[in-house]
Amino acid sequence: MHRAQRLAQIKISVKILIIDAGQLGYSAPMSSSNYYLFVPGYYGSSLVEAKSQKTVWGNPWEIFLGRATLALPTPGFEKFPWLDLKAHQVIERVRVVQPFFTVEAYGKIMDVLRGLVTRPSEQVFALAYDWRRDPMLAVSAIDEKIRQIQEMDPSAKISLIGHSFGALISSYYLRYGQQISKNPTETWEGLQKLQQVVLAAAPFRGTWALFRNMRNGLRTGINHRLQSSFAFSTLESSYYLLPPPGEDFLLDEQLKPKTTDLHNPENWWTRHWGLFQEGLRYRVINPNQVKNHFSELLSKVQDFHQAVQAPLKNKKPPIPLLYLQGIGTKTLAQGVWTQNQDDQNLCLFYRKDFKRWLPNQSHQVLLGDGDGTITTQSSRLLPSLEGAQTVVHQTTQEHLRLLQSPESQKLIRDFLSK
């Protein structure tokens, strides 16, 4: 009996301790929840009409057969039928011919991130943004989303994953946080809010493809308006993706490097580039207004490049970072800028251009190593992001396949699972 009484007393004491602990606010320790924020690249977010919610970018019918334009309203031009488009969602898969033919975009990487979620409190967020506009708007959107997560869960472990243009934008955020100014202070505010970072195929040093598109436009199917030369020339992001000062070289007729001084706005209107080229679909009604708008835009672009390319000033926080870089695929790396009698500012980027204007030269001279979209020279990791906690992985996968291949998915999954 005595033994039974003692056991009963022990049970009562344990119950009292448990009740008291609960009343005092004690609870069993729980690990923090994981949150994953994905930032897609150029073209990676669908765009819908603000009023009708009709999908324009991300809708195969509109892309190949439509008559809409992606152009942004631009000061100094006559009124044209631009659309008030808003970012809707990250494009995962596009069903071109339902249900037979689907184009894979970011679906596989989103599936990987969703597979890392192990409890109801954890979430995956995909940041849709208007990739046509000033990327500083996307920087602010990243900061706002991270603040929302932290307010929802103060102990949240947040991982940021960025691809292509999204990786470039993310690299700015890591170093400067939400600062949008001419000379931002290197605080690493963005990086310090994160648990881990994955970046892939970032165009750190720009690409000539956007300049080419401003000259020639892109035709998809029978749609020549959606991505016309005028449309590309009105997009703010087009200029942020140009090669930065000091790397803006084209080749002359002898195939020797020749500086373009691309970031001097006066060169654009004297050479009839971009918004100032002849034969645009829409007419300029106030030249000074166009010049002022363009000069202000290029000034912001220079500030952005200067901040991204700036040498390291303060020690980078030891946050793990995985960087994926594509190599081994021929990629547009150059153009030829020739001053002939017919066109004083002829820029050659296509094989057909060489056949006409430089028949004795090979178009291959314009190609360099890369991932098919971004050259390895451009995508080489910024020195400011290097460090003991940084892992760089090179792969022969092409630009979008960097996030789609089983090899890359395993790397990302293993890295984020640590």
Q: Which of the residue ranges 30-39, 163-172, 332-341, 362-371 would you say has the lowest mean pLDDT?
A: 332-341
Summarize the confidence of residues 158-162 as an average pLDDT.
98
Structure tokens at 106: 């970011």
Quote the pLDDT of residue 1: 46
Summarize the confidence of residues 370-384 as an average pLDDT.
98
All residues at 6 or more sequence positions from 322 whose CB lies less than 8 Å from its CB, including other chains: 196, 197, 198, 199, 390, 391, 393, 411, 412, 415
Confidence of residue 283 (pLDDT cuts 50, 70, 90): confident
Quote the pLDDT of residue 26: 37
> How many Cβ atoms are within 10 Å of 381's Cβ, its own excluded?
16
Summarize the confidence of residues 219-234 as an average pLDDT.
88
Summarize the confidence of residues 210-234 as an average pLDDT.
90
Distance from C-alpha of 70 to C-alpha of 81, rounded to nearest angstrom: 10
Q: Which of the residue ranges 77-86, 139-148, 293-302 would you say has the lowest mean pLDDT?
A: 77-86
Residue 4 has pLDDT above 60, yes or no: no
Peptide bond before residue 99 is cis, with ω within 30 degrees of 0: yes
Distance from C-alpha of 398 to C-alpha of 396, rounded to nearest angstrom: 6
All residues at 6 or more sequence positions from 183 whose CB lies less than 8 Å from its CB, including other chains: 303, 307
Burial of residue 16 (number of CB atoms within 10 Å: 0-12, 13-18, 19+): exposed
Quote the pLDDT of residue 23: 40
Quote the pLDDT of residue 102: 65
Distance from C-alpha of 67 to C-alpha of 64, rounded to nearest angstrom: 9
Per DSSP, what are the bridge partners of residue 395? Answer: 326
**Mean model confidence pLDDT for the chain:** 89
Quote the pLDDT of residue 154: 95
Quote the pLDDT of residue 65: 81
Query: Which CATH architecture is the domain 34-416 placed in?
Result: 3-Layer(aba) Sandwich (3.40)
Quote the pLDDT of residue 128: 98
323, 160 contact by CB (below 8 A)? no
Summarize the confidence of residues 315-344 as an average pLDDT.
88
Residue 155 has pLDDT above 80, yes or no: yes
Among 99, 127, 102, residue whose Cα is nearest residue 113: 127
Residue 19 has pLDDT above 70, yes or no: no
pLDDT, tens digit, for every residue of 105-128? Answer: 999 999 999 999 999 999 999 999
Residue 352, H or E segment: helix 351-357
Distance from C-alpha of 270 to C-alpha of 291, rounded to nearest angstrom: 11
Instruction: Delimit the domains of the chain by residue range.
Output: 34-416
All residues at 6 or more sequence positions from 158 whose CB lies less than 8 Å from its CB, including other chains: 34, 35, 36, 37, 146, 149, 150, 193, 194, 195
250: phi then psi, degrees, rounded to nearest 5: -115, 175
CA 342 to chain centroid, in Å, comes to 38
Confidence of residue 36 (pLDDT cuts 50, 70, 90): very high
Confidence of residue 96 (pLDDT cuts 50, 70, 90): low
In the DSSP assignment, the letter for residue 363 is G
pTM, two decimals, is 0.89
Summarize the confidence of residues 274-292 as an average pLDDT.
89
Of 132 and 79, more confident: 132
Summarize the confidence of residues 392-416 as an average pLDDT.
96
Quote the pLDDT of residue 402: 94
77, 43 contact by CB (below 8 A)? no
Instruction: Give the whole-number percent of the chain exceeding pLDDT 90.
Output: 73
Gyration radius from the chain CA atoms: 26
Residue 59 has pLDDT above 90, yes or no: no
Summarize the confidence of residues 55-70 as an average pLDDT.
87
Residue 11 has pLDDT above 70, yes or no: no
